[in-house]
Amino acid sequence: MGKGANRLELITQQNELLKEQNDLLREQNELMKRSASASHGGEREVFIENIDRDEMRSGFLVTSHRKKLWNVQIGLINEFARICKKHNLRWFIFSGTLIGAVRHKGFIPWDDDVDIFMFRPDYEKFKRVAAQEVKPPYFLDAWFNYKLEREEDPNVPSNPDLQLFTRKQEIEYAGWYPFWPMMKLRDSRTAMIQWPERLQVNQGIWIDIFAFDSAPPFTKEQQSVNWELARELLLMIAFPDMIKSAMSNNKKFLLPYDEMKKFLELKHRQRTLQFEEFMSKSFFESEFVADFRDYIIANRKVAYKTADFKNIVYMPFEQIELPVPAGYDNILTARYGDWHKLVYEPTHVMDYSADISFRDYFATVAKKNPIKKDNKIVGFVIEDSKNS
């Protein structure tokens, strides 16, 4: 009896230990559902199913690494949505994010960014409230919050709130961001390295925010004139050297040369804000709207019927729901043609991490050797930190 009782007691103790272990495992699983990482001491809510597992989606391998990127982006969407709800701003997903919602009920498997659009009045209001609402670890990376190195006066204190764009980068990336109108909401605790040579700017994981403006065909002459004036203003921001060359060859513009010269002499921030002020004043309830950047810079001359955006519906997107224009089929057909067809697009970035900040990334990059192609940095050879 004694030995049997001792054995039974031992089995009971083992069962209790197993029960405690199972309770701990359940608790850990519950934490995993609520937190994708404990990066920088903070927990992330999880919005991606099976975030710690690789899986195949539409014949494409979606890694856990990519899912963690998506999870941060959904967190950014939620922060953006919070601000918009507080200030009664209307917004909706667009481009690849819209295709993802209606075709995949989430991200396109090979996509790595989020596109959000607002009509110009809501976009302008978001700009105004963002200064108070966007707080660390979030960061508003806006094209009007840059300073160009060539504009800096060594005798005048530089504005520390503006991100620097070097002359070398300006030459190599003429017409690239930040020379077109948009904003990016970023998470500064993360890294999404689109420009490895821009060590001095915030390159946390981002979501894109664009404006829709009144678009042709117009019913009034002044509306057409305003559109052309806006085109000239944007080209002076994106391609100033090209415009100066055209002026030297006496090319005809709507804007008087004196006004163009004054505009070209302004600093980048002043030019961008003046452009957006002009777009805001020129906005009206039109039959068509367009992404002006896409229409002019990318030369994708697509206008969308405003009526297709009149009503907004909510569709599943991973484990949340996002606002979608009710006329999404017309919109996507105008933008892509047969949008049902799977078309692989390359990713935007060479490196990204939901766990390492862009600052930590670049602290390592400083110990790397650049790889150049056609005089442009396309990557780095990582040195062994122990030997460096």
Rounded to whole angstroms, the Cα distance separating 2 from 95 reads: 75
For 84-118, write each residue's pLDDT tens digit: 999 999 999 999 999 999 999 999 999 999 999 99
Confidence (pLDDT) at 5: 56
Note whether residue 92 is domain-resident: yes
Note whether residue 139 is domain-resident: yes
Q: Which of 360, 363, 382 is nearest to 371 (CA)?
A: 382
Confidence (pLDDT) at 10: 57
For 138-176, write each residue's pLDDT tens digit: 999 999 999 999 998 888 888 889 999 999 999 888 889
Structure tokens at 183: 């904003």
For 249-301, write each residue's pLDDT tens digit: 999 999 999 999 999 999 999 999 999 999 999 999 999 999 999 999 999 99
Note whether residue 289 is domain-resident: no
pLDDT greater than 80 at residue 14 = no
3-state SS of the chain is CHHHHHHHHHHHHHHHHHHHHHHHHHHHHHHHHHCCCCHHHCCCCCCCCCCCCCEEECCEEECHHHHHHHHHHHHHHHHHHHHHHHCCCCCEECHHHHHHHHHHCCCCCCCCCCEEEEEHHHHHHHHHHHHHHCCCCEEEEECCCEEEHHHCCCCCCCCCCCEEECHHHHHHCCCCCCCCCCEEEEECCCEEECCCCCCCCCCCEEEEEEEEEECCCCCCHHHHHHHHHHHHHHHHHHCHHHHHHHHHCCCCCCCCHHHHHHHHHCCHHHHHHHHHHHHHHHCCCCCEEECHHHHHCCCCCCCEEHHHHCCEEEEEECCEEEEEECCHHHHHHHHHCCCCCCCCCCCCCCEEECCCCHHHHHHHHCCEEEEEECCEEEEEEECCCCCC
Q: Identify the band that residue 43 occupies on the pLDDT scale cut at 50, 70 and 90.
A: confident
pLDDT greater than 50 at residue 38 = no
Confidence (pLDDT) at 369: 66
For 338-381, write each residue's pLDDT tens digit: 999 999 988 888 799 999 999 999 888 756 666 665 665 556 66
Note whether residue 31 is domain-resident: no
Note whether residue 320 is domain-resident: yes
The larger pLDDT score, comparing residue 332 to residue 195, is at: 332
What is the average pLDDT value for the chain, to the nearest integer? 88
Structural domains counted in the chain: 1
Confidence (pLDDT) at 384: 45
Note whether residue 197 is domain-resident: yes
Out of 28-42, 115-129, 203-217, least confident range: 28-42
Alpha carbon separation from 68 to 47, 56, 130, 148 (Å, rounded): 9, 16, 26, 34
With pLDDT > 90 as the criterion, what percentage of the chain qualifies?
73
Confidence (pLDDT) at 373: 59
Domain that holds residue 157: 55-213+308-382
Prediction pTM value = 0.84
- Please, are residues 139 and 189 in contact by the beta-carbon 8 Å criterion? no
- Tokens 């008087």 belong to 256
Structure tokens at 164: 């620097």
Beta bridge partners of 184: 141, 208
Q: Which of 2, 64, 156, 15 is nearest to 355 (CA)?
A: 64
Confidence (pLDDT) at 375: 64
Q: What's the mean pLDDT in 50-64?
A: 96
Note whether residue 127 is domain-resident: yes
Confidence (pLDDT) at 36: 39
Structure tokens at 154: 């060594």
pLDDT greater than 70 at residue 331 = yes
Alpha carbon separation from 146 to 74, 194, 201 (Å, rounded): 26, 17, 9
Residue 8 CB contacts under 8 Å (≥ 6 apart), including other chains: none
Note whether residue 122 is domain-resident: yes
Largest separation between any pair of C-alpha atoms in the chain: 110
A 10 A CB-CB count for 129 gives 14
Rounded to whole angstroms, the Cα distance separating 262 from 346 reads: 40
Structure tokens at 74: 């959904």
Confidence (pLDDT) at 32: 42
